[in-house]
Amino acid sequence: MSINELTEPDQSQSGDEMDKSTASDYSSICSLQRALCTLGFRCHINGQLDSETELALTDFQSNVQLPISGQPDLATLDALKRLRHAWEGKDYLD
């Protein structure tokens, strides 16, 4: 998953499909932010890959010894998925 897949809808899609894609992107980013927050990497859950989220990603990547990019790259998403038991369904601090 690239940063563009999360933030930019596919321009070849129709209007309705773009709306669904945008909603899906928002939901995916919020899920990423919730996971990071629950694991103790603070960021606002706002559906945007903003500087605060990038900092939380950088801190997470450093903590799990991944290459630091500040982006939700495949290695980072895989690491979050492997830690799902630690964050899924749990409360987070916003």
What is the predicted pLDDT for the residue at 14? Answer: 44
pTM here is 0.74
Pairwise CA distance, residues 73 & 89, whole Å? 23
Q: Under a CB-based contact definition with an 8 Å cutoff, are residues 25 and 9 in contact?
A: yes
What is the predicted pLDDT for the residue at 93? Answer: 65
Place of tokens 């980013």: 29
Selection from 24, 34, 27 nearest residue 80 by Cα: 34
What is the predicted pLDDT for the residue at 81? Answer: 93
What are the tens digits of pLDDT across the range 34-47? 999 999 999 999 99
- DSSP classification of residue 11: T
Classify domain 3-87 at the CATH topology level: Muramoyl-pentapeptide Carboxypeptidase; domain 1 (1.10.101)
All residue ranges of the chain with pLDDT < 70 are 1-23, 93-94
Angle, CA of 63, 75 and 19, to the nearest 5°: 115
What is the predicted pLDDT for the residue at 15? Answer: 45
